Structure 1
């Protein structure tokens, strides 16, 4: 750690199976995206990141690649690995390696979403424990967001995928991760469609695809509703189409207010991990990062069009890094 580049090096590892909105395009086509990710690490956190695009078609093959390269890196950023493979790969690597393995599509999304929702709830005057959140899309990001929101005390979550509402008795299209999520969500065991789930919901979070939500469905949500339509580049429903009861709208796009983007999280999160030479990370470290991110906006005048800082706000990276370092020490994850 002291005498080599390991202290500031991160591997950006992919097999190209879930690249942006393009899907399974393979490792060669994924390379420019991984190069872009490496540039963001350098620009925002001065971290030396190396794109590694592996022809690995099974979880065991990708795990083997990560194990083989791990000695030269202070951390591994798993990128654009399709679900459910990503869950197994990350779980196995976190058990086997003594450096952090962070699947950004899960944890980066979860942290920035939690931060945005903390501030949105404050703006509309609703308590976390009283809110019901509906997710559309229960892949890597949806599963991770659900877990962190439940861990941080959200009232209830209802997950919806192409087979409808997830509940404990459902058999169709259920992975191990969805079965686990079913045990901690949907307290009333609702059945049905997205439209059924949205009735009287406080928050809708879309992590799915373009144009999948009709504005009239959102009109059945509560007053002062919150909508995060995060499909990129075309959201589930356009901001211009929101009914009057929706008070706060966020997307993944830079041409609308409230851009929810992982680049707010991963540079600072890894900066903190590397600086304390972390062995791994915990959910409490993610929650601490989310609260630090939320606090940056909360120091100023929060409103409907300002619930998260700009991705170019230079206060973000050091604030998240400090939160990660402090919590890593408290969680016994730090070497230094």
Structure 2
């Protein structure tokens, strides 16, 4: 918990600066799911929402689902929902550039932890087909014959479910076999480089899309993936084109949720947030090196917050009814005010200026 506190503080800063959301870092000295859920219940009278952070896989999914059902305020797991939302935002525009439809694409998910489990579920909810998808863990492709996973299916429920529902061709083997003929690679695995090699990328189809998002170093360098035939490459880093970072998601999503006092955050709201971000980038002019907004594009956050708030009202989970114009005014005021406050503190010497 002590080592995690600076991470929580940084997250709170992003909540405030990018979304105008006041956040408080709270670290829990427990790994027990029941205790974590109980802590959330105890805290809910004092807070309007909870962001879960850095809870290990697979327990994070059970905690999130129980909180969604048992807690009366929005509970969000950024490693799962935030990652998936921003991945989808970038992928929507990447598909437009290469002229492919998600329902026709063969997708490979490299890594089966919290991030890619969340990404796969949201991508399928958006229109991707599980049968056209292949999941790859450290031991290879997930398929119905994975006895090692069958033995632990009660613990790794999602992984065993993926063995049954994905990979309709019944492929076996390593990532190399999985990528042969694939249109899309979504990789959230181990920090590279060298986790994925150029020869594996060469096995993908023409106009391949590669999201290699391990931090601090992607599984393969973007230029290596491009040289191997990938048309669009995205990473989690700001010093490369096409950064897909959760920070363009959670601050605005919570802004919209709080402005309408939503009871929860649904998967459909995540999809709407992704579509909002994709639309903003498209209006700005998408290219092979610009598929999603950056953290510096404030208007993208305002629109995202408004779209999420409107979707919450549409789904009947908002406690406050408000028009789109009123919601925009409210969200924009909160977001711009937070930035103005930060600028004043920097000029006054209370906050050190950003290092560029």
TM-score (norm 1): 0.90
Q: Where in structure 2 are the equivalents of 1:36-115 lying within 5 Å?
A: 36-115=10-89
Cα separation, partners in 2 of 1:168 and 1:99, compared to 1, 3 Å: farther
In structure 1, runs of 5+ residues without a counterpart are: 1-26
Measured in 1, the distance between the counterparts of 2:147 and 2:278 equals 38
Superposed CA RMSD in Å reads 1.2
The answer to whether the aligner puts 1:228 opposite 2:211 as a matched pair is yes
Contact 1:249 1:258 (C-alpha < 8 Å) held by counterparts: yes
Once the two structures are superposed, what CA deviation does each residue of 1:97-155 show, in whole Å capped at 9, x if it has no partner?
A: 11111000000000100110010011111111111111111111111100111111124
- 1:241 corresponds to which residue? 224
Measured in 2, the distance between the counterparts of 1:333 and 1:138 equals 31
The range that moved more, 185-194 or 118-127, is 185-194
Q: How far did residue 181 of structure 1 move?
A: 3.1
The answer to whether the aligner puts 1:168 opposite 2:144 as a matched pair is yes
Q: How far did residue 183 of structure 1 move?
A: 4.1
Contact 2:135 2:142 (C-alpha < 8 Å) held by counterparts: yes
Q: Given the alignment, which residue of 179, 190, 193 partners 1:198?
A: 179
Cα separation, partners in 2 of 1:183 and 1:327, compared to 1, 3 Å: farther
- 1:290 corresponds to which residue? 274
Q: How far did residue 212 of structure 1 move?
A: 1.2
Measured in 2, the distance between the counterparts of 1:171 and 1:263 equals 38
Q: Given the alignment, which residue of 255, 258, 261 partners 1:274?
A: 258
Larger radius of gyration: 2
- Greater fraction of residues in helix: 2
Contact 1:45 1:271 (C-alpha < 8 Å) held by counterparts: yes
Tell me: higher relative CO, structure 1 or 2? Use CA pairs within 8 A at least 6 residues apart. 2
The range that moved more, 180-189 or 229-238, is 180-189
- Greater fraction of residues in strand: 1
Measured in 1, the distance between the counterparts of 2:168 and 2:120 equals 13
TM-score (norm 2): 0.85
